[in-house]
Amino acid sequence: MDNQSQPNCPSWHDDVRRVAQGIRRRVLEHTVKNNGGYLSQACSSAEMLATLYLKVMNVGPVERPLVPPPFPGVPGPNNPNSFTGAIFNGPKAPHLDRFILSPAQYALVVYAALIELGRMDPEGLNQFNKDGSTVEMIGAEHSPGMEVMTGSLGQGLSQAAGIAMARKLRGETGRVWVFMSDGELQSGQNWEALQAMSHHKLDNMGIYVDVNKQQCDGPICSVMNMDPLAERLASFGARVIEVNGHDLDALAAPAELERDGRPLVVLADTDPCAGMPILQSRIPKLHYVRFVNEDERNRYQAFLADFCG
């Protein structure tokens, strides 16, 4: 997790490490500044998101870092101005991949990633959670990097499957990548989606699950256990690959597999404190970091200074 290039590593590793480190730094900065943020999600998923954008997904470029447009009003028959945040993921084309963010509370992490990737203007993050902005706290379809409404957990995978089905019917070669968190798999709709993906052989879909083993109320095993997750997914017909979520080669490898009719699920085992040992003292309250007092905030401020230094 350092910035140093290591011998015998492919060159894309440097880019992924730089972006992952940038994600952590920006989300930490934001959390210190705003006294709150989805910090552990940044730590667990930084390598995953960076690898998805830089190595796994075949997405097109944006001309220049985009400034998030203001909220155009809700979609409707009389609103021709509505748009989705997919514009930050480059153009849509039959051969290009698509990205669907399922846990919409990861939006802050995606925004940070988009800045590091040169897809969003750094100023965009200053609009976070500001009235009239599209850079919303719980991302919606108009938020940078997002394309569908996923804040009601469980709906992202089904919508992505519909998109993948449409692309399959059209014979498009581009794939649909879904980023998920493990906790949301408790929702039954995901399992309905998985059985449909298997039944309709949507092997043009790939799901990367951030298995950080945390959810809002605490550790998943205490809230609603899902073990054995890999076996459950496989029994629904998914092609399950378990990897270390901070190992870049391991994260990238499943996308290279020849498609075999099964939807791909990559269970990325992650550490919600990865790169920020300071978070460990908050375990098991990791879902949303709000400082309990000024002293704690100061300690994070000092950590941030170290982090940047």
Q: Which residues bind another protein (CB under 8 A)?
A: 74-77, 141, 147-149, 151-152, 154-155, 158-167, 169-170, 188-189, 192-193, 195-196, 199-200
Closest contact distance (angstroms) between CB of 190 and another protein is 9
In angstroms, rounded to a whole number, what is the distance separating the alpha carbons of residues 133 and 140?
11
Is it true that the peptide bond before 75 is cis, omega within 30 degrees of 0? Answer: no
Nearer to another protein, 199 or 290 (CB): 199
Closest contact distance (angstroms) between CB of 196 and another protein is 5
Torsion of the alpha carbons at 149, 155, 158 and 163, rounded to the nearest 10 = 0
Closest contact distance (angstroms) between CB of 79 and another protein is 8
Nearer to another protein, 149 or 230 (CB): 149
Whole-number Cα distances in Å, 285 to 153, 288, 295? 20, 7, 18
Closest contact distance (angstroms) between CB of 75 and another protein is 5
Nearer to another protein, 192 or 247 (CB): 192
191-210: buried (b, 16+ CB within 10 Å) or exposed (e) per residue?
bebbebbbeeebbbbbbbbb
Tokens standing for residue 284: 């098991």
Closest contact distance (angstroms) between CB of 72 and another protein is 13
Q: Are 72 and 143 in contact (CB under 8 A)?
A: no
Q: Residue 3, SS3?
A: coil
Q: Are 124 and 67 in contact (CB under 8 A)?
A: yes
Nearer to another protein, 147 or 269 (CB): 147
CA atoms within 13 A on the CB side of 231: 3
Closest contact distance (angstroms) between CB of 162 and another protein is 2
Nearer to another protein, 265 or 268 (CB): 265
Nearer to another protein, 149 or 253 (CB): 149
In angstroms, rounded to a whole number, what is the distance separating the alpha carbons of residues 92 and 99?
11
